[in-house]
Structure 1
């Protein structure tokens, strides 16, 4: 666990939340606050946060058993004799207190928050590369890892809770890491997890169909993404993608003035790229920024990664980098795990592993791979269980652009893998594609690779960097990259045996 050198300090609730009222006391001072009963310790403040399945108020009896000293709540609790702090928004107050205990680290750092259906991870990785290349030590909080500028650990959530975020930022500060790139998921924004965080840059990469099982409608999903603006510092800037059809909905009303920097493929954006070359080794493009023109290259493939690079460049400009520093940083950008990651074991066809799990991401992945492929393109994909069922047909329609489609299992969770596949197959009914069905993901990958010929491309989509498969309530070891390597090597051994047998004959 990434832990700061200094422990959290005591905070005065009246000072941190001036509009709060108090029951049973004139004020409360605490050095620990917990939002889950498992984290409660004697003398701490228990925050009664609303949840998706239960409310924190329902767990007060257990919190009392664990010795909490005070309650943070949105209305007075008549049957509780402990001191109470009454606030209109418990989650917001909780976030403010978490960051206050660690000395509000984001106030003295350059922080970029990135949200969007696709591109969050890659954009934050590129931004970190740009800043580090310019000798700005930079931390990362996102889907793949948490990194304090010195040490890293696998992430548990794309956007962790307020206490974890505050702790991670404090660890960065203690390591003289003065910048951070943070992914902000729509779930986290809807739930107010970033409360207490201050952003210098808020980037919205795009919004397409996803997570409607949680948000209910596209309008609510867009509204959740737009909440990133609430966390901007007074001099912060909003970066929006004009290629997103909803981008104008993110611009606040006139009563709240926010500086906006737009990017996109057309010259009506403030910054736009002119693509010069897209190849299997990377991308070259010319950045147009006002009267400036500067050529860039990045060792990431695909038009969508040019867009991600420009988004990161917009954030970097606001954080003080020069165009020369951006050029140098883009050229040094490392590959992003599980984002069109190439698996090369010497075979004469290409294998890519990608996190694409929406129709838009699948479409972009195929569009990227196809021009780099002289033969056929095969996609292996599935859909996550207990997630947005409505996007499954859309994913199938996008996958139909490949020459061969193998539908398999992804993370079925508590759903039947066969039922998920049935939902996906409905999306192929209006196409001429006849997909191959293989429920076992390992067998599906092996089949795609063993049937590939010279010049072909195999795209394994959905899980990307993940090293597990969620079946029921179990996390079983599973790594798409490792399985691809295994399949390629098995294929080599099989071919060598066949050649040896042919020579003997």
Structure 2
């Protein structure tokens, strides 16, 4: 018996393993009916497969007994349990197997659609939004998976993670296929690659934006971080090739890691850069102001006009152009698709105001991203540059003084504040940032700490004058703040708009 609708699937184990490209042991009844897949024993239902995973903090092999008690019909594990009443299939790497059988459960939806994966420290979200716009302009029914949301047809699902877990991700692709989606642009985080959440996805193209310091609390070293990113190209693209897809890899070779990846990747590949003369795509005749940019491509008869601003967005656009070319999209459609993308939420996003200065909200929460945002804001400002930012708690502590140093070196005024402190004391995070500030400004003139983020934003807007730019950095699109273990509503854009309106009204009344 097989029921194929998304919400109510029952598949025999032989069919599932055939779809996943796995061999079923003779000891397992090929007609065994499976009703679902779970990697958490508490979510196991009658007839499910339970996949035991060795995690960072817990090993779910210890919960096999609980999964069986809840009705698991089959166990997939790396080591055999001491005693169980249901069949057990052993694999060396159950993380990878989970992704493959999860996608097989939904009949491998990505094999019948275009899937582009974008990875890198910065630029993933903007690149994915640009890709979506180009693909839509080319006539595709698109889906997006990323930091802000998961989006397709009329569905908008708030993102819990940049890249969902393996089972949730497979289900999402299944829903997209059912809704008629035939092209998906997705952000791929280093965590998702390392944890093999994306195994089972048949990628057509993968884009590398850059690699700068981030997530060292998880990866430990920049080398380990880079190695995780490279797996998208070295491991996932060959998997797609095995099932018949023609794949491409696109690299930013102004980035040192991107250049290394480009040199060692053996498959079909291409490159882009602003400075490196060896790149296939490079911009020329760049014109930019606060309202957008225009430029040409040295090797192509294409003229780009965009509402996006900043050197970092030239990189994002170049990568998208090359991916789109690899997908067979025409230059005219590519240019129009890029022009159609107005802004990206929380990415150098202006907050509307009638006051004679500019307020920008940006997600720059890494040293490199903050530096790029400040450098681009500096080019645009006619007055002073004021930055408000903090660093997340329970995350990489080494970047805090670095970001303080960058802010003090590039901004005229620095306001250190809360980001998502989580379980760390906000004052200790601010003090670490202040150490970097003091390297540049020992006397702390034009630099202060205002722990309350709302008050910090208010102070920045109060300080701003004609021609100034206020950059509120670190949280971007986020509409929450995590203090302790409690998630509080908080949106930089709304808070800034509130204080801008109050100042407008106050100035009118005077």
**TM-score, normalised with respect to structure 2:** 0.93
Answering whether residue 323 of structure 2 is matched by residue 311 of structure 1, we say no
Partner residue of 2:484 out of 463, 472, 483: 472
CA deviation string 1:317-344 (max 9, x = no partner): 1222111111111111131000011012
What residue number does 2:493 align with? Answer: 481
Judged with a 3 Å threshold, the aligned counterparts in structure 2 of structure 1 residues 49 and 5 are, in CA distance, closer, same or farther, namely closer
Answering whether residue 326 of structure 2 is matched by residue 322 of structure 1, we say no
Shift in Å at residue 184 of structure 1?
0.6
What residue number does 2:286 align with? Answer: 276
CA distance in 2, matches of 1:136, 1:270: 26
CA distance in 1, matches of 2:5, 2:176: 8
Judged with a 3 Å threshold, the aligned counterparts in structure 2 of structure 1 residues 286 and 4 are, in CA distance, closer, same or farther, namely farther
Deviates more, 1:422-431 or 1:104-113: 422-431
CA deviation string 1:67-106 (max 9, x = no partner): 1111100122232231011111101111111100101011
Partner residue of 1:89 out of 89, 93, 101: 93
Mapping 1:235-384, distance limit 5 Å: 235-251=246-262, 257-265=266-274, 266-289=276-299, 292-384=300-392
RMSD over aligned CA atoms reads: 1.8
Shift in Å at residue 4 of structure 1?
7.4
What residue number does 2:471 align with? Answer: 459
Q: Is the 8 A contact 1:22 1:83 kept in 2?
A: no
CA distance in 1, matches of 2:335, 2:500: 36
CA deviation string 1:418-474 (max 9, x = no partner): 011111111123212622100000000000001100110000000000000001111
- Listed as ranges, the gaps of 5+ residues in structure 1 are 500-505
Shift in Å at residue 38 of structure 1?
2.8
Judged with a 3 Å threshold, the aligned counterparts in structure 2 of structure 1 residues 465 and 18 are, in CA distance, closer, same or farther, namely closer
Q: Is the 8 A contact 2:19 2:108 kept in 1?
A: no
CA distance in 1, matches of 2:221, 2:394: 17
CA distance in 2, matches of 1:245, 1:430: 27
Judged with a 3 Å threshold, the aligned counterparts in structure 2 of structure 1 residues 16 and 78 are, in CA distance, closer, same or farther, namely farther
Q: Is the 8 A contact 1:4 1:167 kept in 2?
A: no
Shift in Å at residue 250 of structure 1?
2.0
Deviates more, 1:266-275 or 1:325-334: 266-275
Judged with a 3 Å threshold, the aligned counterparts in structure 2 of structure 1 residues 70 and 419 are, in CA distance, closer, same or farther, namely same
Partner residue of 2:41 out of 37, 46, 56: 37
CA distance in 2, matches of 1:275, 1:455: 27
Shift in Å at residue 382 of structure 1?
0.1
Q: Is the 8 A contact 1:116 1:205 kept in 2?
A: yes
What residue number does 2:416 align with? Answer: 407
What residue number does 2:28 align with? Answer: 25
What residue number does 2:236 align with? Answer: 231
CA distance in 1, matches of 2:222, 2:94: 27
Partner residue of 2:165 out of 161, 166, 178: 161
- Listed as ranges, the gaps of 5+ residues in structure 2 are none
Q: Is the 8 A contact 1:470 1:476 kept in 2?
A: yes
CA distance in 1, matches of 2:351, 2:178: 37
Q: Is the 8 A contact 1:4 1:168 kept in 2?
A: no
Judged with a 3 Å threshold, the aligned counterparts in structure 2 of structure 1 residues 295 and 14 are, in CA distance, closer, same or farther, namely closer
Deviates more, 1:242-251 or 1:373-382: 242-251
Partner residue of 1:222 out of 208, 222, 226: 226
CA distance in 1, matches of 2:418, 2:184: 35
What residue number does 1:429 align with? Answer: 438
Q: Is the 8 A contact 1:340 1:365 kept in 2?
A: yes
CA distance in 2, matches of 1:19, 1:131: 33
Judged with a 3 Å threshold, the aligned counterparts in structure 2 of structure 1 residues 252 and 273 are, in CA distance, closer, same or farther, namely closer
Q: Is the 8 A contact 1:9 1:101 kept in 2?
A: no
Q: Is the 8 A contact 1:195 1:231 kept in 2?
A: yes
Q: Is the 8 A contact 1:340 1:353 kept in 2?
A: yes
Partner residue of 2:128 out of 105, 114, 124: 124
Q: Is the 8 A contact 2:209 2:258 kept in 1?
A: no
Answering whether residue 117 of structure 2 is matched by residue 113 of structure 1, we say yes
CA distance in 1, matches of 2:62, 2:121: 33
Judged with a 3 Å threshold, the aligned counterparts in structure 2 of structure 1 residues 4 and 117 are, in CA distance, closer, same or farther, namely farther
Shift in Å at residue 493 of structure 1?
2.7
For these two proteins, the number of residue pairs brought into alignment is: 492
**TM-score, normalised with respect to structure 1:** 0.94
Shift in Å at residue 15 of structure 1?
2.7
